[in-house]
Structure 1
Amino acid sequence: MCGIVGYVGPQDAAPILLEGLGRLEYRGYDSAGLAVATKSGLKVRKVSGRVADLAADLPARFKGAPGIGHTRWATHGEPTPENAHPHTDAAGRIAVVHNGIIENADELRAKLAADGVEFASQTDTEAVAHLVAAAFQAGAVDLEQAVRQALRQVVGAYGLAVMDAEHPDRIVVARNGSPVLLGVGEKEMFVASDVAALIGYTRQVVYLDDGELATVTPTGYRTFTLDDRAVAKSPSTIDWDVVGAEIGDHAHYLIKEIQEQSRTIERALKGRIDERFDTAHLGGLNLTVREAREIRRVKILGCGSACYAGDLGAQLIEDLARVPASAEPASEFRYRNPVVEPDTLYVAVSQSGETIDTLAAVQELQRKGGRVIGIVNVVGSTIARQVDGGIYLHAGPEMSVAATKSFTSTVTAFALLALHLGRIRDLSPEQGRRIIAGLNALPEQIAQVLEQSDAIAEVAREIAGSNSVLFVGRRRGWPVAREGAQKLKEVSYVHAEAYPSAELKHGPLALVSPELPTVAIVPDDNLLDKNTSTLSEIKARKGPVIALAHRELPSDLADRTLVMPKNEPELDPILMSVPLQLLAYHAAVALGRDVDKPRNLAKSVTVE
């Protein structure tokens, strides 16, 4: 949520800021703005709407540097130009952009108002600009000192960047619970909340940790703490490329990323299959064989699609490693008082590596002595650096808000983890070879699923006019149904619910009617008879049925069958997820939705 970009150097800042903000549009936002330093002071431009609207609104002479830009996802006040960032003090000397939430904003605003400050917005962020200005009035000698004095009064989460018209050679940034990083260029520097903003400008980045600040100038950077202790930080190299973040000739990022899944699964597997011992090689776990054998339980934490992937991961771990495993929404886990067991392995799942609820759960576990590994896509992200070890997905940038390639890559990573743990225990070499053969077959089978896109689009157009859609599945099909329902509602806005097939008789069957389509996950496994019995119950009540199956089902069980290639039972959910992504995509297109940026949603959820 929200995006920050900053630039200091010899070039005009505005074009660089606009390009960076454009690369952050996938995060979700409702307004945008820029501030640049000129010889006559700061220039600020803000709009409610898209980055393209901001670019169109800029005057021809909006030139200068340094500059900061922001895309806002509303938390305090409606998405209006007044509430958009950057925010300034009354004199227009200080400009601030901010991600996160200042929890004591009401108290700060009341105190500042009592001192005569008049606010121009409803936001929590504006208070920071006035606090920095007040610090100068109280005797702060430079921008670093003024920002430190201001932040000592702030309670809450923030990633922020601050400019001062009277110090136009620098930007000061700070982090506490919301990501901020520095980009190191040649006689120029960048700041951002996400590495995606820097693609094409630099591959050298410096990640700030909570409680750290930095000053960037054209010649370099200095990192320090709130009490002005120096912190040594070295740049890391990012491996994302411009091509991976470009839409190319695709209509939307979402369909591009769906179609990339054969390659992303290959990357997730690359270098991790050990055919000599019929196992998976996962050196990043930082677990010895002895430590892995001592694990008695696995607990998986994630939010949204990451949690559904965790449900599938838990079943893989139980099936292959015979270790009790379960998944739970990190947003719920963080608010209870969990029992943290020394022989439990905790797994945090996050595409962005910045999901605030998941990060808070990780930190709580580590405070209580828990061992936590991560399954993360973004190298160098906060969760990736916080955990004790883990698995990178290497799926490349996922620009659409809806998770697709990151979901299937996550489940693939869980299959590797389950294989690794299983072979350390009692999984036989023969069973290990079976799973490896299934994993190696996935890329080609996903390509076969993608060839059915036109047929799936026809089904999608049929259900797009429905008020609601029911998704059902048993065992491994149940998390697939949940993920399918989420995809449909988040990108098409068609209401969708998912239920375990066996639960229909316990209430939801009352909803079945000719107006309610059901999407059923019907793999050809040992529960096939149970699943076809469920379809009979739905058809007996005249409910339309669309089945995902490994064979064509008779018309008295399904109105339409989408026949999928068959893999091993443990891996079939990966393949079954892909047609549901296509179903959601084509339904959204048929309804004219903003496919890549669904309303009210954000890619990286960094606020509660």
Structure 2
Amino acid sequence: MCGIVGYIGRRDVAPLLLEGLQRLEYRGYDSAGIVITGKPSGKTPAALKMVKAKGRVRDLEARVPKRFAGTTGIAHTRWATHGAPSDENAHPHMDPEGKLALVHNGIIDNADELRAKLVAEGVEFASETDTEVLTHLIARSEAETLEERVRQALHLIEGTYGIAVLHSDFADRIVVARNGSPVVLGIGEKEMFVASDVAALVTHTRQVVTLDDGEMATLKADDFRTYTTEGTRTTASPTTVEWEAESYDMGGHDTYMHKEISEQPDAVDRVLRGRIDDRFSTVRLGGLNLDAREARAVRRVKILGCGTSYHAGLIGAQMIEELARIPADAEPASEFRYRNPVVDPDTLYVAVSQSGETYDVLAAVQELKRKGARVLGVVNVVGSAIARETDGGVYVHAGPEVCVVSTKCFTNTVVAFGLLALHLGRIRDLSVSDGKRLIEGLRKLPEQIREILELEPEIKKLAEEYANAKSMMFIGRVRGYPVALEASLKLKEISYIHAEAYPASELKHGPLALIEPAMPTVAIVPNDDLLEKNRAAMEEIKARSGRILAVAHQEQEKADHTIVVPKNEVELDPILMGIPLQILAYHTALALGRDIDKPRNLAKSVTVE
């Protein structure tokens, strides 16, 4: 949430920062701002020049004067937490003298207490943000160096932060720090970059350093150094980003969401590549750091994620339970650590996050590690915080996902869980024939997804027909229920149509009261041993004059419309049944004129609590 980008070097900084903000806008888009260090003139020292604007990055860009020269600067695109979107609440925030500027991702938990103390001491605030508190704390420090001023201020605050700081008295540097919110350094040729996401860096460099929590860095044009908030030097080794700059382009599509839906066959092929072991009818997941003896000792699997990742975890838990015969369940990470959970040494915990930086998931991982648990990560971003904090894991290799709502990463995450379930199953009691059956099913997925994508014109017509609904119900049983949950979430996120998901078996226990012609139901109806049960649920809906759109392996006579998808193995069918509902949500939102890539009130990487 929120995007930071900064640069120090020899190039004109404003165009670089604005370009970086455009690439980061999916992280927050209610206001934006830029501040640069102007060039000193004669005896006149360097001065900070700032422009801010409520709205999108394009609104900021329209305000930046043509003459806005400098070679050092920081910029920010905001997702509001404290204070409504406005010019005043936009970052960067400056001290009253205009000598210090700061951009911040995260939340300062004790901001109200600190603000009250500063006001009592005569400080006047220009915004409603928690960030301005930190700005004043740094500015009021009397330490000799900018690094020490920042360190002193950070010791006074509680909460999460990713920050970048400029000061006109220290015009040769940018000071950055991280605690719970990502900060990535980009290493160039006599120039340095900083950002909250590599998306802002890959156009200019693929050599990066990711800060750890409690770590700071000083960036100069030709050098950088890292150290802890206690002042101890740390060693940082650059890594190479695997994604190319072109991965972040629209690629001829009207939206990133449409592009990312269409990329799913290739994305699934990537997550499978090099991992299938035909000789033993299993898969190779070397990154788990879990040998066969340790895997056989696992007595339970607990999967933790938020939103779409939680839904992927629900499907993953079912796969693990069915194939490995290990009790498994999924739980929202945001709730897990607040209920004082019993942490069992025989339980394998799996943390799921597309970005690898989701704060609720990361906090759960840190709590589990503190209590001695074994934790694996299922993430998309190499080198992310969760990838570094966990004992091992599986990268899902979906590639960059720019649209706020997740599509290809959800699909790849579920496929990754299929690989994990098969791996654990073959170590335990899953037969060779079942291993071969599932491998064949996994290999079919890319081509079957292509078949589903060819249904887009048909699904578009259905979306336009259902777009006038004020509310929709999604139902499924067992394997179909998590698909219903995810489809319901997708529709809510981008179309703003109210949607609810229920197990089909629960209709008669309350939700049937909502059924009427104006309330369409989307039914997930796989051709499995619950087919007749699902048909009975549709009978209940039709008896109450409800409209039904079925996603099934064959036409459903009780449905008003059916989207027929290819059949795979029963354990893998949920992967395919969710994809037409991504397309349905997309075209529903398109018919309603929504901003599909940047839905209101949401941001991509949720790095606040």
Q: 1:503 and 2:509 equivalent?
A: no
Structure 2: tracts of 5 or more residues without a match: 41-45
C-alpha distance in 2 between matches for 1:115 and 1:551: 72
Query: What secondary structure is seen at the aligned counterpart in 2 of 1:335?
Result: helix
Quote the RMSD (CA, aligned, Å): 0.8
Q: Structure 2 matches for 1:120-135, cutoff 5 A?
A: 120-135=126-141
Q: 1:230 and 2:233 equivalent?
A: yes
Q: 1:259 and 2:262 equivalent?
A: yes
Q: Structure 2 matches for 1:190-339, cutoff 5 A?
A: 190-339=193-342
Deviation at 1:211, TM superposition (A): 1.0
CA contact (8 A) 1:65 1:168 kept: no
Query: What secondary structure is seen at the aligned counterpart in 2 of 1:290?
Result: helix
C-alpha distance in 2 between matches for 1:490 and 1:61: 40
Per-residue CA shift, 1:92-135, capped at 9, x if unaligned?
Answer: 00000001111121222222223322111111111222112211
Q: Structure 2 matches for 1:60-75, cutoff 5 A?
A: 60-75=66-81
C-alpha distance in 2 between matches for 1:269 and 1:322: 23
Q: Structure 2 matches for 1:100-499, cutoff 5 A?
A: 100-135=106-141, 138=142, 140-499=143-502
C-alpha distance in 2 between matches for 1:507 and 1:423: 41
Instruction: State the one-letter code of the partner of 2:560.
Output: D
Q: 1:44 and 2:50 equivalent?
A: yes
- Worse overlay, 240-249 or 439-448: 240-249
CA contact (8 A) 1:8 1:171 kept: yes
Match of 2:523 among 520, 523, 538: 520
C-alpha distance in 1 between matches for 2:348 and 2:112: 41
Per-residue CA shift, 1:538-595, capped at 9, x if unaligned?
Answer: 11111011111111122xx011011110000000100001000000000000000000
Instruction: State the one-letter code of the partner of 1:12.
Output: D
C-alpha distance in 2 between matches for 1:553 and 1:124: 54
Residues paired across the two proteins, number: 603
Per-residue CA shift, 1:526-549, capped at 9, x if unaligned?
Answer: 111111111111111110111111
C-alpha distance in 2 between matches for 1:602 and 1:392: 22
C-alpha distance in 2 between matches for 1:353 and 1:19: 24
Query: What secondary structure is seen at the aligned counterpart in 2 of 1:173?
Result: strand
CA contact (8 A) 1:549 1:564 kept: yes
Structure 1: tracts of 5 or more residues without a match: none
CA contact (8 A) 1:378 1:392 kept: yes
Deviation at 1:11, TM superposition (A): 0.6
Query: What secondary structure is seen at the aligned counterpart in 1 of 2:343?
Result: coil
CA contact (8 A) 1:317 1:418 kept: yes
C-alpha distance in 2 between matches for 1:331 and 1:181: 25
Instruction: State the one-letter code of the partner of 1:115.
Output: E
Which residue does 1:35 correspond to in 2?
Answer: 35
Per-residue CA shift, 1:58-80, capped at 9, x if unaligned?
Answer: 00011112100001111111110
Deviation at 1:449, TM superposition (A): 0.2
Per-residue CA shift, 1:270-291, capped at 9, x if unaligned?
Answer: 0110001000100000001100
C-alpha distance in 1 between matches for 2:517 and 2:112: 52
Q: 1:539 and 2:542 equivalent?
A: yes
Which residue does 1:85 correspond to in 2?
Answer: 91
Query: What secondary structure is seen at the aligned counterpart in 2 of 1:483?
Result: helix
- Worse overlay, 15-24 or 591-600: 15-24
- Worse overlay, 450-459 or 222-231: 222-231
Instruction: State the one-letter code of the partner of 1:43.
Output: K
Per-residue CA shift, 1:448-480, capped at 9, x if unaligned?
Answer: 000000100111111110010110001100000
Q: 1:5 and 2:11 equivalent?
A: no
Which residue does 1:552 correspond to in 2?
Answer: 555
C-alpha distance in 1 between matches for 2:136 and 2:509: 57
Query: What secondary structure is seen at the aligned counterpart in 2 of 1:323?
Result: coil
Deviation at 1:144, TM superposition (A): 0.9
Which residue does 1:565 correspond to in 2?
Answer: 566
Query: What secondary structure is seen at the aligned counterpart in 2 of 1:441?
Result: helix
CA contact (8 A) 1:90 1:117 kept: no
C-alpha distance in 2 between matches for 1:371 and 1:468: 42
Deviation at 1:312, TM superposition (A): 0.3
Instruction: State the one-letter code of the partner of 1:54.
Output: L
Deviation at 1:343, TM superposition (A): 0.9
CA contact (8 A) 1:2 1:72 kept: yes
C-alpha distance in 2 between matches for 1:356 and 1:55: 30
CA contact (8 A) 2:311 2:485 kept: yes
Runs ≥4 residues deviating over 3 A = none
Which residue does 2:43 correspond to in 1?
Answer: none
C-alpha distance in 2 between matches for 1:129 and 1:272: 49
Deviation at 1:173, TM superposition (A): 0.3
C-alpha distance in 2 between matches for 1:52 and 1:468: 33
Instruction: State the one-letter code of the partner of 2:26.
Output: Y
Query: What secondary structure is seen at the aligned counterpart in 2 of 1:331?
Result: helix
C-alpha distance in 2 between matches for 1:278 and 1:271: 14
Instruction: State the one-letter code of the partner of 1:128.
Output: L
Query: What secondary structure is seen at the aligned counterpart in 2 of 1:558?
Result: coil
Per-residue CA shift, 1:193-224, capped at 9, x if unaligned?
Answer: 11111121111111111111100001110111
- Worse overlay, 581-590 or 95-104: 95-104
C-alpha distance in 1 between matches for 2:480 and 2:84: 40
Query: What secondary structure is seen at the aligned counterpart in 2 of 1:442?
Result: helix
C-alpha distance in 1 between matches for 2:28 and 2:146: 30
CA contact (8 A) 1:7 1:13 kept: yes
Query: What secondary structure is seen at the aligned counterpart in 2 of 1:166?
Result: helix
Which residue does 1:22 correspond to in 2?
Answer: 22
C-alpha distance in 2 between matches for 1:93 and 1:85: 15
Identity %: 65
C-alpha distance in 2 between matches for 1:334 and 1:220: 40
C-alpha distance in 1 between matches for 2:484 and 2:561: 17
C-alpha distance in 2 between matches for 1:105 and 1:55: 30
